[in-house]
Amino acid sequence: MDTVFKALSDPCRRAILDLLAERDGRTSGQIEEAVNELGFSLTRFGVMKHLKVLEDARLVIPRRSGRFKHHYLNVIPLQQVVDRWMEPLTQKPMARAMLNLKNSIEGGKK
C-alpha cells in the first residue's frame, strides 16, 4: 500500500492516471503528448519513469501489442485504499446520524 501512496504523491502521476481513466490503452508517446498539453514538461524518458512507479504500485498495467506498449488503469489498488482508509471514516458519521435519527424518532429516549 505504501507504493500506492508514493505513486499518488506526484501530481504528474495523478495526471497520467486521470488520462488513462479518460481513455485507456494509451502508449507512452500518447501519454507524453497529453501530459505536456496539461502543462507538464516531460520527455518520453520522464513519462516512462513515472509509468514505472505506477506499474510498481499496480495502478497501471502494461500490455504489449506488436512493438507498442499500451497502458491500462487498474483501479483495484485504489479501491483497496478506499476500503481501508476512507470508508471507515465515512461510516462513523453515518452511524452517528442514524443514532441521532433513531433518538429523534423515539422522542429522545436512549
Domain-wise residue ranges, the chain: 2-74, 75-110
The model carries a pTM of: 0.77
- DSSP 8-class letter at 50: H
- Are the beta carbons of 16 and 31 closer than 8 angstroms? yes
Q: What is the pLDDT of residue 106?
A: 87
Phi then psi dihedrals of residue 41, to 5 deg = -110, 90
Mean pLDDT of 47-58: 97
What does the pLDDT read at residue 82? 84
Residue 110 pLDDT > 60: no
Number of helices and strands (H, E) in the chain? 6, 2
- In this prediction, residues 51-58 reach a mean pLDDT of 97
pLDDT at 67 over 90: yes
CB count in 10 Å sphere of residue 25: 13
What is the second-level CATH architecture of the domain 2-74? Orthogonal Bundle (1.10)
Nearest by Cα to 36 from 15, 62, 14: 15
User: Checking DSSP bridges between strand 60-65 and strand 68-73, what pairing results, if any?
Assistant: antiparallel
Query: What is the percent of the chain where pLDDT is above 70?
Result: 96
The SS3 call for residue 62 is strand
Query: Chain-wide mean pLDDT for the chain?
Result: 90
Q: Assess whether pLDDT exceeds 80 at residue 89.
A: no
Q: Which residues touch 34 (CB under 8 Å, ≥6 apart)?
A: 19, 26
